[in-house]
Each structure stands twice: as C-alpha cells, then as structure tokens.
Amino acid sequence: MSPKIIILLILLSFAGLVAFLVLPSRFDALTPSAADIAAAQELRPNNPALAAIYERSCFSCHADVDAQAPLTGHRAAWVPRLKARSMERLVASVQGGYQAMPPMGFCPDCTEIEFRALIAFMAGEVGQ
C-alpha cells in the first residue's frame, strides 16, 4: 500500500470521526416532527391570564425546537418526564432552575399552582 493511500485512509477515518461527532444527537421518538415544531408556535393556554404568563415566560424556549426544551404540546417528550419525575419534581425544577432554565423559569411572580397549570398545558393537557 502506497504512503499516499495510507494518508488518504487516515484522513477519511478522521472525516468519519468528525462526521459522526456532528451527527444530530436526537434520532429517536423524542425528536419532534415538523408538525410538532409548527404546533408549538401556535398553541396557547385557553385561560387568558395563563396565556399571558406563557407568552412572556415560557414561549421563548418551549416553542423553539433549537432551545432543546420539551416543546409545547409535544406529548412524546412530556409524558416520559411526567412519569419518571412526577409533576411535583417538575415544578421543583422550575422553582430551583434546571439546565438552561433559570430559577422560577422567567416568572419570579408565578405561584406553584400557575407552574402546575403551565406544565400541564405544555404537556398537552387541553383546557388550561
């Protein structure tokens, strides 16, 4: 094997390594579809007061697929969270901050009841 071919193979294996590293990390059922992404931008709570809080506090991240927060209305992302961590722990995560979400999730004035209602709405439970 000539040195040229060896170098070429090494470079190709490097390229393969980088290509593998930059592959999107989400290729599973949790990956939202284009319809999920579009729906997240449109959904609002029925309750006007809750809708106002949602728009000023939650919308920026939970309606933006690139924020990597569970998308509003994307039940495939929310149901496992609710099952694994329970509503109480999700509320505690908002209050204490979780990953990119600051303590109180951009809503320092929100009550625990409002956080519960917002999570239930984002998790796809209709009629909040």
| Smallest separation (angstroms) from other proteins to the CB of 77 | 14
- Which DSSP string do the residues of 61-87 spell out, in sequence order? HHT-GGGTSPPTT-HHHHHHHHHHHHH
| Smallest separation (angstroms) from other proteins to the CB of 81 | 17
| Separation of alpha carbons 61 and 44, rounded Å | 14
Q: What is the binding site for other proteins (CB under 8 A)?
A: 11-12, 14-15, 17-19, 21-25, 34, 37, 52, 55-57, 59-61, 64-68, 96-97, 99-100, 102-104, 106-109
| Smallest separation (angstroms) from other proteins to the CB of 18 | 4
Measured from the CB atom, the residue of 80 and 97 that comes closer to other proteins is 97
| Smallest separation (angstroms) from other proteins to the CB of 3 | 15
Measured from the CB atom, the residue of 108 and 127 that comes closer to other proteins is 108
Measured from the CB atom, the residue of 66 and 127 that comes closer to other proteins is 66
105 exposed, middle or buried (CB, 10 Å; 0-12, 13-18, 19+)? Answer: buried
User: To which residue do tokens 């709405």 refer?
Assistant: 121
Phi and psi torsions of 109, nearest 5° = -95, 0
